[in-house]
Structure 1
């Protein structure tokens, strides 16, 4: 036998041995793969937006296409109701309410399967939400400041912008919207870039106007203004409504009603999605104005007062001649809101904000046996008969000017004058406050006071 033949047979045996081993290993891996379910590759979530709006998503990407998943297969710790959908390799977990600030959330999707395999697996992802913060105004003798402060922080916070004569200020995306004194009893409207502090002025619909109210959406670039003529008799308020799209030409235009004339509004509120404006006019009618086509404005209800839109965007808090009303924006159904007793005492309810949980935060006056109001409180109420205290001034000497609930219903920011008898006005003709005005932040679940700063107009 030749050496060449022997070498050939050895090569053949080695080749088939290698092939057999390789095939065996591949079969083992194929078997293991068939026995294992899909794997989680990456996850995406906006840690800021998820605290600001209901309906935000955690997006889980798998290494292969997936079978359908039900909401019962998804658990969230701390608990949050969710909806879930699957598209190819993507699982979209949608949170039905905004999440708490600075909180670790663990989302578990059980029994994840692929259409091509019977094996299942569990996807687990943990993320931390962004800390909460609020913007507010602190007025000085000659220069005013707009600041941002973390809920969990200390001190005054960070100064975002300084200018004289600030009437209103509100954050919008990466900008600040300011209304300032024009030196003649009116207002100028400005947009401040938060990164560069560059200022751009927005032209109002006419000369000689003062801004009585400023509303900004949580989503979008359109700003609503309620303005009056500065030459009105005895400073009378005309309260005409105007809109300006800051992503457009930057010029404010009148909002006209069904009669083609500018609407005179008591107040206006953006819907949660930022696609429509709810207008409460001086005749106490409530209108819905689609921003995409303002000609489609429609009346929807009649209220003596409108206080705002709930954090989940579904309901409006309002008052009619018979008391408080929760108005469903989709069905137009109304639910009567009756304030509960506080420490077994009768209270008179004022403005309130509806929470996604079904509770509401309300400003109330406590009365004595003769019916005389003896204290002003901020309470949280579920309508079960007894409300729970959130804020009360020392010795009942102060008053609450306004309050704003955080978009996730976790905190309430309250404007308080600590001692009314000693309060001094700041002398501002537009949106004046007491010089002692203070903002306090209260945890709604616990009632704990977590932050206090000198200033007013807190905006989340």
Structure 2
């Protein structure tokens, strides 16, 4: 019989094993203690900001934009009023899980650093409160305009502060233009006013002419601010007693091809309009029909909502809240959400009562408008662009020596600036004599800050489009 003998480990091995066990136990205890310390510190300090998301370009275009703040752990519901923004604007906060959503009450200013703070943030189990803070700088828009000249007319893109001048497209006889998606749409007109609609791609240099359903004047171009929907009207040169086409409104979705589709009226027939525009930031249309009805049209569903009886269309406000229209008693701002009407009566300028013309009215009732001041004798008058807060009006722009004329204006999407189209001196007859949409050759567009009335820059051209 064999015997198996088990010998004891040498003393050195036993000591090594005991040392390992002591080290392991000690390390485990230290790790537990450290975890406890870190947990205690986290509890004592409260939640922290781990990341944030915001579209710096979108926040300057509309009032429905959101900043998302992510905490390092799940948090309790925050007070909607616990958010502050510097520079000060209205904002509200809501939370779910580790996310705090801050919704801004208005479009933000261009090229501005904002600091957002949410106070009183705690974990789900309570504990100390903390404040989550995040700073970001907003973007600024591109501005397009048309500079007519020899040998070509030029569609120009520039910045709000930059002096860079990029020629997007150059061609002969451009009547109107509008950027849409990756292209620029523009119209030309023959001597008989028969028009063409052309698409130009600035990146490739490729142009294509859109096949139109009828021959006639092509005008009133507009496009959705984002997306690919383009709209325009076609009018017969001589519509006759029973016109087949007269100021008929059409759209074409460039992402889906080149099919030109008539917008239908309440009776199911093609809609004929005296004026129209896309609601900024949407694919909805607002128009005054030749039947003197203000309508809002959902281009997706075809739903048409009548908003009242008016015979003339001015514009949809830059913030998309109202339509400015006219009837036999004057001008009105119609709220697009419910059709509520507010008659427009301008406030006094330095004690004088002005007469109101073209107007932009935001959701708060503030007006940017062309106004005329008549001298005491009635023999002189001044044409100005003014801002009216409902209590008083102040001049934003007035031509030097009242020698010029304010031809048109376009408020920026965030209501911070206005592009003012000016003829510096009406005594000089310098029309470019275009068949449609003629302009003085001296037309200059000034960018004016609405809050201060400061002119920030000027460009030689007209038809300003904010994008």
TM-score of the two chains, using structure 1 as the length reference: 0.92
- CA deviation vs aligned residue, 1:311-345 (integer Å, no higher than 9, x gap): 33222222333333222222322222211222322
Larger radius of gyration: 2
Change (3 A) 1:371 1:283: farther
- From 358, 369, 373, the equivalent of 1:366 is 373
Q: Distance in 2 between matches of 1:88 and 1:176?
A: 44
Tell whether 2:104 aligns with 1:98. Answer: no
SS of 1:412 mapped into structure 2:
strand
Please show how residues 313-328 of structure 1 align to structure 2 within 5 Å.
Answer: 313-328=320-335
Tell me if the contact between 1:104 and 1:129 (Cα under 8 Å) persists in the aligned partners.
yes
Q: Distance in 2 between matches of 1:42 and 1:271?
A: 34
Change (3 A) 1:173 1:87: farther
State the 1:117 CA deviation. 4.8
- Residue equivalent to 2:448: 442
Tell me if the contact between 2:173 and 2:189 (Cα under 8 Å) persists in the aligned partners.
yes
State the 1:145 CA deviation. 0.3
Q: Distance in 2 between matches of 1:142 and 1:12?
A: 91
State the 1:172 CA deviation. 2.4
State the 1:347 CA deviation. 1.5
Q: Distance in 2 between matches of 1:265 and 1:372?
A: 37
Tell whether 2:161 aligns with 1:180. Answer: no
SS of 1:67 mapped into structure 2:
coil
Please show how residues 135-146 of structure 1 align to structure 2 within 5 Å.
Answer: 135-146=144-155
- From 361, 378, 382, the equivalent of 2:385 is 378
Q: Distance in 2 between matches of 1:193 and 1:117?
A: 57
Tell me if the contact between 1:40 and 1:62 (Cα under 8 Å) persists in the aligned partners.
yes
Tell me if the contact between 2:424 and 2:442 (Cα under 8 Å) persists in the aligned partners.
yes
State the 1:107 CA deviation. 0.9
Tell whether 2:91 aligns with 1:85. Answer: no
Change (3 A) 1:8 1:44: closer
State the 1:275 CA deviation. 3.2
Tell whether 2:276 aligns with 1:268. Answer: yes
- Residue equivalent to 1:33: 42
- Residue equivalent to 2:460: 454
Tell me if the contact between 2:187 and 2:219 (Cα under 8 Å) persists in the aligned partners.
no
SS of 1:288 mapped into structure 2:
strand
State the 1:193 CA deviation. 2.6
- Residue equivalent to 1:167: 175
Please show how residues 43-122 of structure 1 align to structure 2 within 5 Å.
Answer: 43-122=52-131
Tell me if the contact between 1:317 and 1:324 (Cα under 8 Å) persists in the aligned partners.
yes
Tell me if the contact between 2:89 and 2:104 (Cα under 8 Å) persists in the aligned partners.
yes
Comparing 8-17 with 371-380, which one deviates more in the overlay? 8-17
Tell me if the contact between 2:273 and 2:288 (Cα under 8 Å) persists in the aligned partners.
yes
- CA deviation vs aligned residue, 1:339-360 (integer Å, no higher than 9, x gap): 1222322211111101344311
- Residue equivalent to 2:423: 417
Count the aligned residue pairs.
Answer: 454
State the 1:402 CA deviation. 0.7
State the 1:182 CA deviation. 5.6
State the 1:444 CA deviation. 0.7
- CA deviation vs aligned residue, 1:128-159 (integer Å, no higher than 9, x gap): 1113431000011331100012222337x221
Q: Distance in 2 between matches of 1:211 and 1:117?
A: 65
Comparing 63-72 with 24-33, which one deviates more in the overlay? 63-72
- Residue equivalent to 1:246: 254
Tell me if the contact between 1:38 and 1:112 (Cα under 8 Å) persists in the aligned partners.
yes
Tell me if the contact between 1:215 and 1:224 (Cα under 8 Å) persists in the aligned partners.
yes
- The unaligned stretches of length 5 or more in structure 1 are none
- CA deviation vs aligned residue, 1:65-93 (integer Å, no higher than 9, x gap): 23222331111111121233323332222
- Residue equivalent to 2:234: 227
State the 1:6 CA deviation. 4.1
Q: Distance in 1 between matches of 2:213 and 2:60?
A: 35
Tell whether 2:397 aligns with 1:388. Answer: no
Change (3 A) 1:67 1:195: farther
Tell me if the contact between 1:175 and 1:193 (Cα under 8 Å) persists in the aligned partners.
yes
- CA deviation vs aligned residue, 1:220-245 (integer Å, no higher than 9, x gap): 32122122123557xx9921111111
- The unaligned stretches of length 5 or more in structure 2 are 1-7
- From 390, 407, 430, the equivalent of 1:401 is 407
Aligned-CA RMSD value: 2.2
SS of 2:135 mapped into structure 1:
strand
TM-score of the two chains, using structure 2 as the length reference: 0.91
Q: Distance in 2 between matches of 1:69 and 1:349?
A: 46
SS of 1:14 mapped into structure 2:
helix
- Residue equivalent to 1:202: 210
- From 117, 131, 140, the equivalent of 2:140 is 131
Q: Distance in 2 between matches of 1:178 and 1:30?
A: 64
